[in-house]
């Protein structure tokens, strides 16, 4: 599924430190469906390895992870529930 047309949830965790961003991501994941896209914004650099571990554990896909405008932007596609 194309991430530009899939339902997208924005999770703004800027200013939150570990485990806040992953907790926020997990809450959004619980409300999502297969094919949905979650965009996570964070400022804690620990989010990078945390999201990689979360995606590997849950079987979901990291579409992109980049620094943008002073924040880390992670785009994930829900591939598994």
The count of domains in the chain is 1
Residue 69 lies in a domain: yes
Whether the CA torsion 2, 5, 49, 33 is positive or negative: it is: negative
Residue 56 annotated as catalytic: no
pLDDT tens for each residue of 40-66:
999 999 999 999 999 999 999 999 999
8-13 and 61-68 as β-strands: parallel, antiparallel, unpaired? unpaired
pLDDT tens for each residue of 3-35:
667 779 999 999 999 999 999 999 999 999 999
Residue 3 lies in a domain: no
pTM to 2 decimal places: 0.91
Query: CA–CA separation, 25 vs 14, rounded Å?
Result: 12
Residue 56 lies in a domain: yes
The pLDDT value recorded for residue 3 is 67
The pLDDT value recorded for residue 32 is 95
Strands (E), 1-81: 8-13, 37-42, 61-68, 71-77
Query: CA–CA separation, 76 vs 69, rounded Å?
Result: 19
Q: For residue 70, give both structure tokens.
A: 């002073």
Residue 24 lies in a domain: yes
3, 6, 18, 75: which is the annotated catalytic residue? Answer: 18
Q: Domain with 66 in it: what CATH number?
A: 3.30.110.40
């Amino acid at each position: 599924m194309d991430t530009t047309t899939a339902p997208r949830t924005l999770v703004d965790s800027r200013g939150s430190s570990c485990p806040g961003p992953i907790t926020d991501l997990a809450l959004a994941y619980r409300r999502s469906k297969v094919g949905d896209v979650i965009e996570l914004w964070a400022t804690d650099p620990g989010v990078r390895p945390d999201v990689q571990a979360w995606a590997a554990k849950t079987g979901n896909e990291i579409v992109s992870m980049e620094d943008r405008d002073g924040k880390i932007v992670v785009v994930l596609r829900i591939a598994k529930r």
